[in-house]
Amino acid sequence: MNIEKLEILSLTQNRASIILSHNDYIIIDYYVGKNGLSLYSNFLELKKNIYFIKDIIFNRVYKGSKDQPFILVFSFDYDFEKSEIKILLVDLRNFSYVYKDISQFQDLYFTSIYVWNNKEIIILSTDGDYYLIITVEKDLSIQKIDSTYKKEIYQEFYEFAEVSKHFEVKKCYPEKLQFTFLDTENNQAGIYDFSTNSTKTIKFSYPEDNYLLKPFDVIYKNGFFILTSYHRLYIYKDDKMINVIEKYEKFRFYETMFLENSKNEFAVVCSDPLVMPGSAILKYKIEA
């Protein structure tokens, strides 16, 4: 199977490391001068920059379901004196956002596992606890809950989340109750599917003396796995590696994602580790 490079967009005024696809936008983080989000069309045309008033560290970004044009940004900034924890809800319809400081939850850090149901977002923390975020007009509220909260609605999610605690989860697909995972000790990657209570795994290899080629992330769609390392993308169909994409110029790969409304198109954000600013978005298509 061939991999076709569709687009390259150089970002000389940005340094990005997070990318997602939602509501017909390719969305990346924006750090230079101001920080915020940059929204591009699927053809890599800039549509909008959203600048945040507060300094935000983009630790995790969650997206609503297909009929929920929102994303939630989780920011964790730590120094020796204190930690600053913030959440932002961004509305992709009018490009506004709501900000909430939640630093009262000391050392709170979220995993990738979440469910988004209208105005309620439940996220699993790295401590194994559940947190409920409620979006109401121009405000956000957050509270710690347990798995008895609205159990008749969220029972499957709670069971799904409990399974995730036994894996090194990388990406969560909440509408399908699936997540990808890495097992670097055994050089395995895979996807777990709650509907069948099963995992599909692949074996990978890399030169173990070169950490720049070691996979640290994995995405999945339509039987394709893409493993991301700093200098290489490994592409598998089911359990067979079908292609490798080498690093672009002096850039390092940071995050890869499949485009939401396409079959086998994907994009990767990369940045130059030595030059600030300096990033690029590369877009590809798997010709299956």
Question: How many domains does one find in the chain?
Answer: 1
Mean predicted lDDT score pLDDT of the chain: 92
Q: Which amino acid is at 105?
A: F
**The pTM of the whole model exceeds 0.75:** yes
Band of residue 138 on the pLDDT scale cut at 50, 70, 90: confident
Band of residue 227 on the pLDDT scale cut at 50, 70, 90: very high
Q: For position 72, which CATH number holds?
A: 2.130.10.10
Q: How do residues 85-137 score in pLDDT, each as one tens digit? A: 999 999 999 999 999 999 999 889 999 999 999 999 999 999 999 999 999 87
Work out the average pLDDT over 227-255: 95
Q: What residues contact 67, with CB distance under 8 A and at least 6 apart? A: none
Per-state percent for the chain, helix, strand, coil, to nearest 5 = 5, 55, 40
Mapped onto helix, strand or coil, the DSSP state of residue 37 is strand
135-139, 210-214, 281-285: which has the minimum mean pLDDT?
135-139
Work out the average pLDDT over 174-193: 97
Work out the average pLDDT over 140-151: 96
Parent domain of 192: 2-287
pLDDT of residue 217: 98
pLDDT of residue 53: 78
Indicate if the pLDDT at residue 268 is higher than 90: yes
Q: Which amino acid is at 169?
A: V
DSSP codes joined into one string, 112-160: EEEEEETTEEEEEETTS-EEEEEEETTEEEEEEE-TTTTHHHHHHHHHH
pLDDT of residue 233: 98
